[in-house]
Amino acid sequence: MHLDISDVSSFGAFTSELSALLERWGASRLDVVVNNAGVGVFGPLEAVTADDFDTVFGTNVRGTFFLIQSLVPLLAQGSRVINVSSSLTRHTSPATSVYSASKAAVEALSRTLAAELGPRGIRVNSIAPGPTATDFNGGAMRDDAGMRQGLAGRTALGRVGEPEEIGDAIATLASDGLRWMTAQRIEVSGGALL
């Protein structure tokens, strides 16, 4: 299924289609939701436009909020919602102010929704990846050897992360092994900028 998380008006149809798909699989509820969609527009303060700001917050915060709202009726008792944030909410980097602020909002949203959905046993946490070799931002951290080397020198483990390592952390957070954890921010950054 495809979903443009910036198009909130499509969430009702998406949720209906997902519900029908779950029924075909013999299920009625979702156990885990991972909000990983995001966009970054990077530039110094004076270069960021109102459209840039709206794009980043519209996708990273507004989209995440309203998708969770749309999916709440499908969430099982004791399900997990994991929102992807960024290590940039802990440390700073030039030209990342709007992106960092949007991810800080995702963390605040996660804590608040953990309290709101907790009576249903639904755990809501955020995971904050550090520099990782993904296709985000045009694959810059994956494809630019100079960028990778520069970022690797700023992490305790001396390298950028791999997508599988973020996936492993998300799987662990979704597992029953962390069933007593909610409203937390878990950073998976290799010790970036300590």
Give, as one character, the DSSP assignment of residue 24. Answer: H
Whole-structure pTM value? 0.95
9 is catalytic: no
CATH class of domain segment(s) 12-188: alpha beta
Compute and round to an integer the Cα radius of gyration of the chain: 17
The residue extents of the domains of the chain are: 12-188
Q: 24-56 burial, b if ≥16 CB within 10 A, otherwise e?
A: eeeeeebebbbbbebbbbbeeeeebeeebeebb
HSE, CB side, 13 Å, CA atoms: give it for residue 76: 11
pLDDT tens for the chain, residues 1 to 194:
999 999 999 999 999 999 999 999 999 899 999 999 899 999 999 999 999 999 999 999 999 999 999 999 999 999 999 999 999 999 988 999 999 999 999 999 999 999 999 999 999 999 999 999 888 777 777 888 888 898 889 999 999 999 999 999 999 999 999 999 999 999 999 999 99
Catalytic annotation, pick one of 90, 99, 103, 188: 99
